[in-house]
Structure 1
Amino acid sequence: MNIAAGVNESYAQLSNYLIYSAMAVYTLAFLAHIAEWLFGSRSKVARTSAALAASAGSAGSAAPAAPAVKVAQRGGGTAVVDRPKVVLRSTSDDRGATDGIGAAGTDEQGELYGRIAISLTVLAFLLHLGGVLCRALSVDRAPWGNMYEFSTAFGVVAVGTYLVLLALGKRVRWIGLFLVGAVLLDLGLAVTVLYAASDQLVPALHSYWLWIHVSCAMISGAMFMLGALATFLYLFRDRYEIKVAAGQGCGRFGSMWERLPAASTLDKFAYRANAAIFPLWTFTIIAGSIWAEAAWGHYWQWDPTETWSFITWVVYACYLHARATAGWKGRKAAYISLVGFGCFLFNYFCINIFVVGMHSYAGV
């Protein structure tokens, strides 16, 4: 135990070992996900995609005719009245597209790769979580006091959310490949560019608001990332459906895009993820203002981090408003969503690394 620095070096080293081990297992999970997409003809990814497309494709059809109803007439007797037919209208971006399953391989082979990928993701998540917890034990505080710690904890929240959705029976396995790849990139930047050794924080950060404000920002960012991944895939799937409807070639990646859920389903998932977490992001900014008043004596000073957090809030507010406006659904709203996540990333990386502000004392 390093008494002077107040750091338990054993836990700090164990945390590093666990993070590197998690990265190795995430890499294997990433490769397994690729194998599932390449070789599985009717793996769970494909079956889920087909099931979602089938439910989406039925949106433009009329519901089965309801039986006639007998009603009493004044003066005795009955009259037969047919129930009106209920027509389920399709959305503007739902073309009734179905997901083709055109890859080589057998059902069992694809399902095997899929199960291996999920199992490896669970193992990597446990190692990842252990690394974050050991980091917390090494300094006896919240394990998100600098950019390295925030990045590692951020990945835990993102993968944990994905696994919880799977455990609840949600059909989100299609995002596994892209999420694991994003988390690998996040951890790669963390251990190379953002790494900081375990150490105690400056007195201003020794506050219970570190647990509240920063954890809310981390959870919000993880959900925004899931929404951004779904939005990004939506744009490709939407273009694929347009080409299929026009009878055009789909390019070398056509077989990949056909495995995704229908564009309307991806768009709906992204919207729900962003809408669900937007109130928490609002609270994050409010909590940060309260903490700023306690630490600096002012609720708001237009610090670069504060400013870009507010800009991110405004962009996502515009996105949600656009989704509530009929003319701004689909690709137009999707672009706003990606701009919002881009603002979040700009604030996190560019502002914190290259711009000096009142948040700079937290260090990289």
Structure 2
Amino acid sequence: MTINETLAQYSDWAFESAFAVLVLAFVLLVIQYASTRARAVQVREGAEEKELVAAGGTSGSDGTAATPGRVAEQPRRTLADRFGGMGYAVLVVGTVLLIASIVLRGLSTERFPLGNMYEFVAMACAATLLGGLVLMAKPAYRVLWVFMLVPVLILIFLAGTVLYADAAPVVPALRSFWLPIHVTVVSVGSGVFLISGVASLLFLLRIRYPKGAEGASVFGRLAERLPDALTLDRLAYKTTIIGFPLFGAGVILGAIWAEAAWGRFWGWDPKETVSFIAWVIYAAYLHARATSGWRDTKAAWINVAGFAAMLFNLFIINMVVSGLHSYAGLN
């Protein structure tokens, strides 16, 4: 199997460009997030003015009477709107570049690009970004991208530095049709779980600092710009419902591949064990989410525990603990 060095170089450039573009998107969305409070004040003032106009009262600062039934002027786009729109557009470009880097890596090596940690993390981050663009398409969710991009940027940075691997063929054990099936499902499920975990963390923050307690601390000032707790809880639940069967299917497909490759479905390999534990934790979250008395903060903490187990499985198990998955360039 030959390596197309030109395509491999293009893949690396696309990956680096994606990181730079996503950093720019993050900066623009941070500006939007910081401007959200001023926008909320303007919206409230506009609503009060409309009430006065409808009632025939005064609407101007000079106390002049408004004409009853007069149509209020459409408000101009605020600073938050402009920066939010730019940030969202740049975010889409960064997502496209990251996906392009994955496709070019596969074309350069003539194999499915999921043979090492670098490629796995790139695929998981692409799944997070693409899933977020679909599941958080409503403008109300746009402020959440500030928090979603933090772990994504950290993972992309680690993938491009600590975890980077040159484009090369995989070892014979991975030359199987199970590779694109099993690892793709697991990586996509992991990417969706990242959205769910961040949503639950933000839900807990919103519960801790509800409206009226915004000025208590830095965390309170961050929380006041978030959507309401119910919206965040629904996002976490919706994404877990999507990620849970995907990740579970990945675990089952991995067991089938293990039987074909190693002659057994299950061998208590560290990677297998922690993946199964993480899946059970998410099952517990879904059960708690449907159980009276556990639906709010208790269920959210279980979801956060599942998110922590996924990160532990990705870094500690893959990079520190030796196991049967080590040959894949995972530690």
TM-score range, shorter chain: 0.7 to 0.9
Residue of structure 2 aligned with 1:180, choices 149, 172, 183: 149
Question: Relative contact order (alpha carbons < 8 A, sep ≥ 6): 1 or 2 greater?
Answer: 1
2:278 counterpart (312, 315, 320): 312
Is residue 16 of structure 2 the alignment partner of residue 25 of structure 1?
no
Given that residues 36 and 113 in structure 1 are in contact (C-alpha distance below 8 angstroms), is that contact kept between their aligned partners in structure 2? yes
1:98-247 mapped onto 2 (5 Å cutoff): 107-166=77-136, 169=138, 171-241=140-210, 244=212
Q: Map Cα deviations across residues 286-313 of structure 1 (whole Å, 9 max, x no partner).
A: 1000000011111111111000111111
- Distance in 1 (CA, whole Å) between partners of 2:306 and 2:136 is 26
Tell me if structure 1 keeps the 8 A contact 2:105–2:167: yes
Which residue pairs with 1:357 in the alignment?
323
What is the number of equivalent residue pairs in this alignment? 298
Name the amino acid aligned to 2:149.
Answer: V
Whole-angstrom CA distance in 1 between matches of 2:317 and 2:135: 32
1:319–1:333 Cα contact (<8 Å) kept: yes
Q: Deviations over 1:261-302 (max 9, x none)?
A: 111221121011112221122111110000000111111111
Query: Structure 1 counterpart of 2:110, which letter?
Result: D
In the TM superposition, what is the alpha-carbon distance from 1:27 to its structure 2 partner? 0.8
- 1:264 match: secondary structure: helix
Q: What SS does the aligned partner of 1:326 have?
A: coil
Partner of 1:325: 291
Q: Alignment partner of 2:176: what SS?
A: coil
- More helix per residue: 1 or 2? 2
Cα offsets for 1:164-221 (capped at 9, x unmatched): 2355x47421221112222111110001110111111111111111111100101110
Instruction: State whether residues 214 and 223 of structure 2, in contact with CA within 8 Å, keep that contact through their aligned partners in structure 1.
Output: no
Equivalent position SS for 2:293: helix
Match of 1:343 among 305, 309, 328: 309
* Higher Cα radius of gyration: 1
Using the alignment, how far apart are the partners of 1:318 and 1:170 within structure 2? 31
RMSD of aligned alpha carbons: 2.1
- Structure 1 residue runs without a partner (length 5+): 51-105
Normalising by the residue count of structure 1, what TM-score does the alignment of the two structures yield? 0.78
Give distance in 2, aligned partners of 1:173 and 1:40. Answer: 11
Q: Which amino acid aligns with 2:82?
A: L
Report the TM-score when normalising by structure 2.
0.85
Letter in 1 for 2:224: E
Q: Give the whole-Å Cα distance in 1 for the aligned partners of 2:33 and 2:97.
A: 25
Which residue pairs with 2:35 in the alignment? 39
Q: Distance in 1 between matches of 2:303 and 2:136?
A: 24
AA at the equivalent of 2:8? A
In 1: Cα distance, 2:288 partner to 2:175 partner: 40
Distance change in 2, residues 1:260/1:12 (3 Å): same
Equivalents in 2 of 1:41, 1:309: separation in Å? 41
1:13-68 residue CA offsets vs partner (Å, 9 max, x unmatched): 1111111111111111010001101124466xx69x99xxxxxxxxxxxxxxxxxx
Q: Which residue of 2 aligns with 1:287?
A: 253
Rate the CA distance shift 1:114–1:361 in 2: closer, same or farther, 3 A: same
CA distance in 2, matches of 1:273, 1:165: 8
**1:214-255 per-position Cα deviation (integer Å, ceiling 9, x unaligned):** 0010111011000001001011111111x73xx685223433
Q: Deviation of residue 137 (structure 1)?
A: 0.6
Structure 1 distance, partners of 2:256, 2:80, is 51
Identity of aligned residues (%): 43
Match of 1:99 in 2: none
Cα distance, 1:157 vs. partner?
A: 1.1
**3-state SS, counterpart of residue 26 of structure 1:** helix
1:52-131 correspondence to structure 2 within 5 Å: 107-131=77-101
Aligned to 2:54: none
Q: 1:250 to 1:352 in 2, by over 3 A?
A: same
Task: State the shift of 1:346 in Å.
Answer: 0.8
Question: Is the CA contact (8 Å cut-off) linking 2:36 and 2:225 kept in structure 1?
Answer: no
> Residues 255 and 248 of structure 1: is their aligned pair in 2 closer, same or farther, counting only changes over 3 Å?
closer
CA deviations 1:139-163 (Å, max 9, x no partner) are 1111111000011111111111122
- State the AA in 1 paired with 2:270: P
